[in-house]
Amino acid sequence: MSNKIQAIRGMNDLLPEQSAQWQYFEGQMRQLVQRYGYAEIRTPVLEQTALFARSIGEVTDIVEKEMYTFADRNGDSLTLRPEGTASCVRAALENGLLHNQTQRLWYQGPMFRYERPQKGRYRQFHQVGIEAYGLEGPDIDAEVILLSARLWKQLGLREHVTLELNSLGSSDARAAYRDILVSYFEDHRAVLDEDSLRRLQSNPLRILDSKNSDMAPMLKAAPKLLDHLDSASREHFERLCGILDAAGISYVINPRLVRGLDYYSRTVFEWTTTALGSQGTVCAGGRYDGLVEQLGGKPTPAVGFAMGVERLILLLDTLALVPEDACPRLDAYMIGMDEAASKSVLLLAETLRDACPTLRIQVHCGGGSFKSQMKKADKSGARLALLLGEDELARNAVTVKWLREDRDQQTLPRQELAAELIELLDISA
Ligand code: ATP
Ligand code: MG
């Protein structure tokens, strides 16, 4: 007996029932980004390891312990992308998209992180994200947030998510604050856990992000970066808050929001929900003005976000917000009632598809008794069955039998069938 090969832990199959929900979400998102003038960019899932090490930061969870990194047959170190922003900047630079111009881009696709799989946390997961380049004012930060807020409204999630906002200031302001923070943490060394002690020198800001509840009171009382912002960043933040106020977008200022990647500066934000347990962040983003230069380009302001698609679909599912008709069901199921008729149904369906491109029709394949074919028709979810038997063949006609509605069965001439179906099903030609 051979053992069955199974999928890799934390990497999920998406079955037909779920893919309907995914298509609904992706459709809403695609339509939305188009309404804001963002263009799609698709990049490879594999990149050189150095891209992520250099951009995300050596002392981050992702680079320290979550990347799928391996040597290819040439000995080059490659990494499955753990997020989309670094690849997006790499591709934009490599293809000259940032040359004296602004860009509004979006992407979607699988990301890979070696984490402990649990609800809302997987090893292959999906993000959809947007990135805007070449714009430095708070107006574009606001646009990015407004776009996400509109998505929540469209999906019926507005009451279920909260916007948390913070500013990380300029890198100079952050460096000065870092010293203040380190000396505060030194004074409270006894409360720091192992992870935090390790980060004390390498990445002390990340300690603020700790979820260890024993440290919570100490972190709550820690000096706040918002109180140590440079004046330009303070003004940027105030103007952003002003636009959000005017747009009626409510937010909570969270001074401990620092984000897990090194490249952020100024605005950072997260949309969170309490409906998913501890994996509550569904969208995270901010400004990363230094990254393009860090990856070899000219200094270019940049801002964006990434959404976790699995978490959003879990949320939509939990709250029963995916519409019944998210996945359109079949209109018609066609049956050949005897061997002669079975020979013509495939081609007859083709003529119907020619005449009516919106018609969703499935043809019974594989023969069987009329009864078993009708069972299949019913199971298919179609609204009606199209029956072709000896009698219909002789009369050059097709019988329409409603499967879920109390409507009379009727036999229609073939040449009128397409037009009649469009009428009967109330679909467009
Ligand atoms: P977390 O604190 O939950 O680990 P993160 O800060 O690592 O999140 P980001 O790198 O900001 O996450 O990614 C953006 C979004 O992608 C997250 O808010 C989340 O919705 C989703 N995400 C991140 N990691 C995973 C994962 N392993 N599985 C599923 N979704 C994820
Ligand atoms: Mg993480």
Q: What pLDDT, in 10s, does the model give residues 202-211?
A: 889 989 988 8
Say how far residue 416 (Cα) sits from the centre of its chain. Answer: 44
Q: What ligand 1 atom has the least distance to the C-alpha of 122?
A: 28
**Cα dihedral 243/130/40/88 (nearest 10):** 130
Q: Is 28 annotated as a binding residue?
A: no
Place of tokens 């860009």: 103
Query: Which structure tokens are listed for 370?
Result: 């009329």
Q: Is the CB of 281 under 6 A from ligand 1?
A: yes
Q: Is 57 annotated as a binding residue?
A: no
Residue 1: per-residue pLDDT: 58
Q: Is the CB of 284 under 6 A from ligand 1?
A: yes
- How far is the C-alpha of 425 from the C-alpha of 361, rounded, in Å? 12
What confidence tens digit (pLDDT) does each residue in 244-262 have?
999 999 999 999 998 867 7
Collect contacts of 396-402 with beta carbons under 8 A, ≥24 apart.
398/348, 400/424
Q: Is the CB of 60 under 6 A from ligand 1?
A: no
- How far is the C-alpha of 116 from the C-alpha of 62, rounded, in Å? 13
Residue 344: per-residue pLDDT: 93
What confidence tens digit (pLDDT) does each residue in 304-329 have?
999 999 999 999 999 999 998 887 88
Nearest to 403 by CA among 428, 417, 424, 389: 424
Q: What ligand 1 atom has the least distance to the C-alpha of 312?
A: 20
Q: Is the CB of 308 under 6 A from ligand 1?
A: yes
162 in Cβ contact with 184 (< 8 Å): no
* HSE, side-chain direction, 13 A CA sphere, residue 3: 3
Rg of the chain over all Cα atoms, to the nearest angstrom = 28
Distance 215 CA to ligand 2 centre (A): 19
Distance 105 CA to ligand 1 centre (A): 20
The one-letter code for the residue type at 55 is S
Q: Is the CB of 148 under 6 A from ligand 1?
A: no
Q: Could you state, in chain order, the average pLDDT of each consecutive group of 10 residues for the chain (429 residues)?
A: 90 94 96 98 98 89 94 98 98 96 98 97 98 98 98 97 96 90 95 92 88 92 94 97 98 90 89 93 96 96 98 97 88 95 94 96 95 96 97 97 96 96 91
Domains of the chain: 16-169+229-319 (3.30.930.10), 329-424 (3.40.50.800)
12, 60, 281: residue to mutate for ligand 1 pocket, most atoms within 8 A of CB: 281
Q: Is the CB of 115 under 6 A from ligand 1?
A: yes
Distance 355 CA to ligand 1 centre (A): 47
Q: What ligand 1 atom has the least distance to the C-alpha of 270?
A: 18
Distance 115 CA to ligand 2 centre (A): 8
Query: Which structure tokens are listed for 32?
Result: 């939305």
Q: What ligand 1 atom has the least distance to the C-alpha of 123?
A: 27
What confidence tens digit (pLDDT) does each residue in 82-114 have?
999 999 999 999 999 999 899 999 999 999 999
